A and B are shown apart, each in its own frame.
Chain A
């Protein structure tokens, strides 16, 4: 490995520009993990960050491709999206985030539905977003699985970094069915259906474990049960979208009963149950601050992120799910509004980089400008959160995937 890097360095010196070697100079380097660096540079080799520091003290090999910007930050991490499954045209043929066939479908894999060439992915990439946690949407009790991808690649295999990240569940109006004798029609029924599903999975898990290594004794394979058992085994979290305070508390109750890892999504009324969230140790993927304040979000507040921060509850931002215009939101824009509502720009940037990476369990690899992490960068011509600034470049693992001014 060391030999390879040396070799790469030699090749660079002789005939510059391996695609993934890059030096980004900026008036303000914002590593997030540490204090800002004035007139700094970030050096990326072989897709990884190899140096971060003041431009004067970091030697940059001759011939390495160079970019300049007013500000460079870690590539942004969207903690919850549906892009790639939900397409920008919003016509039946490009909407794969929700299948109405059944209310509980944890077996639906996001990797089987992700369109890496979707225009919305290209769109958010132009704002500095390099990583998205995306998948099935908040429209049924359990709608399916999610994945984590880099916002590049021509196929899902080129894009994905975590094929199965979470399983998406939804409480409240979005997963309630009205009339026609369809269930769930009430909050009580929603929880009853979820509990029955997990009880069934516990039974399946018991049979699996009783069989041990004896294949003849194992129950028949069941994709749905296998997915739920993964939740019971805490191999991945259940992400529950809930806006109303009573639905949030129901999610906590469900997680406690079945010892699930829980991530709260949305949380429009989270500020009413901060103590409960804190005690349960549940992180929150906060609703977009510019989400429409109607229906279940009628009590939403722009200051919720600041309240979560003050309460010591880990949180990140999401572009979320939109069934109309705009088909996706942009976390840079959303974090900006929170920054202006008590959160402040530093914490807002952290929430769309390092804190989001932590929430996804990827902070060893993503979320800050530190040596050894992925060379994912976002370049801006001013304060990233200002309405009139532009993202002028996006880099994924040393590859420039966007240049311009968006």
Chain B
């Protein structure tokens, strides 16, 4: 809300980019050791300095935001979310690499506001479940933009950045044309990747001659982006044998993959570590609820860490499976199950940023990175801690003291309503409902 508001004002009266100083908090940079009584300097949406108050001079004229007694850490990165009310692939086929979540997400859906209330500043919004390949995911900055175009991160070529959602196990099994068995699931996927390899050969053979090129094929183009490593596969998988199948297919076709949910990761830690494949873990309160999750155990994060693979650990909300407002809780429950605090917090920030190829922009408080940060009332892993403020690229998008924001954080009448526009409401009633 505030970001858009300030953009509106900016267009009326442009002025020099202000310097903001978050002063006095215990700062958790993630990429470095915690700093008591720290300072984070921000200009133009970018972090310009992080350090102890004794070491970082706050320039005169900077807007000082007193964070005494608070904890400041990077905005959280959710590698697997379904907020935004969008669906990707439909029920016509099990493999639909042409479908883009970019075309499906409602950027004003209240889910984004709840995610801000949970400290989430970056989301990988995915297609729903039930397909072997349910389409192209979209990496979004949770910035209160008016359109999806302004929310999405971009590939170097300017196209909307995202991965490819895949699934195996019982998730994608149903009546034809969907697979009925695990063997069939793998065969269908392999068939499509082989077809993409053939398509690539034709493209290569054509060279620069447009006459010789095969007709454009959106599905094949999507798969090629996977084979070329541009688009990371985000793979729903739970059971130990399904996990190993993903590793096998990734090796055969050379695609980059992040394992998602991975309920039984703890059973195949050696295989995962040997393949050096990241795990975005779901943390649920109780095993079961479906066959794939019957042996879920929150120990996997700690087990990966003890196997020397702490940097492969991330968590996700899978919102609405778990609530975006409770994302910190997922990491805390992993600590309860034996993971270190350091790995748990990296699993909400820098590690997931790597899983989205965004580690150079987000995930830690370091000079030159986007000024995405959250202000917490205390220890990030305590149930009594609340997210007080969420900042995206130097602008405050969530403030617990704001009545409307508090409604999104706590719930209440009207909390499910989509966000209204911001510019429309200058000088008037902000959010009639």
Contacts and interface: CB of A to CB of B under 8 A. Distances in A.
A272 interface: yes
Given A88-B287, A88-B294, A387 B413 contact: no
Given A269-B413, A293-B323, A88 B289 contact: yes
A385 B332 CA distance: 12
Contact of A325 (B114, B284, B386): B284
B382 interface: yes
Given A322-B289, A336-B383, A272 B413 contact: yes
A380 to B, nearest CB: 12
Nearest to A406: B336
Interface residues of A, number: 41
Contact of A330 (B286, B329, B413, B415): B286
B285 interface: yes
Nearest to B293: A325
A120 B288 contact: yes
Contact of B415 (A293, A336, A389): A293
Contact of A387 (B286, B336, B411): B336
A164 interface: no
Interface in A291-349: 292-294, 298-303, 322, 324-330, 333, 336-337, 339-341
Contacts of A269: 413
Interface string A12-32: 000000000000000000000
B381 interface: yes
B216 interface: no
B413 A326 contact: no
Interface in A182-238: none
B287 A292 contact: no
A123 B382 contact: no
Given A329-B286, A387-B336, A302 B410 contact: yes
A290 B320 CA distance: 11
Interface in B268-285: 284-285
A119 B288 contact: yes
B287 A387 contact: no
Contacts of B326: 290, 337
A91 interface: yes
B382 A387 contact: yes
- Interface of A, secondary structure class, is loop
Contacts of A337: 326, 383
Contacts of A390: 336
B21 interface: no
A76 to B, nearest CB: 15
A58 interface: no
Nearest to B413: A299
B244 interface: no
Contacts of A7: none
Given A293-B416, A325-B293, A341-B410, A386 B288 contact: no
Best-surrounded residue of A91, A119, A327, A328 (most CB of chain B within 10 A):
A327
Interface in B320-334: 320-321, 323, 326, 329, 332-333
Interface string A378-394: 00000001111110000
A155 interface: no
A89 interface: yes
Given A302-B410, A329-B286, A89 B329 contact: no
Nearest to A325: B289
Interface string B279-320: 000001111111101100000000000000000000000001
Contacts of A91: 291
Interface string A104-129: 00000000000000011001000000
A300 B411 contact: yes
A329 B285 contact: yes
A387 B335 contact: yes
Interface string A256-270: 000000000000010
B428 interface: no
B86 to A, nearest CB: 15
A340 B386 contact: yes
A311 to B, nearest CB: 16
A387 B329 contact: yes
List of 5 A-B pairs having minimum Cβ-Cβ separation, nearest first: A88-B288, A387-B332, A298-B416, A325-B289, A301-B411
Interface of B: 114, 284-291, 293-294, 320-321, 323, 326, 329, 332-333, 335-336, 381-386, 410-416
27 contacts: A87-B288, A88-B286, A88-B289, A89-B291, A123-B286, A269-B413, A290-B323, A292-B320, A293-B416, A299-B412, A299-B416, A300-B415, A301-B410, A302-B410, A324-B289, A324-B290, A325-B286, A325-B293, A327-B288, A327-B289, A329-B285, A330-B286, A337-B326, A339-B383, A387-B335, A387-B382, A388-B381
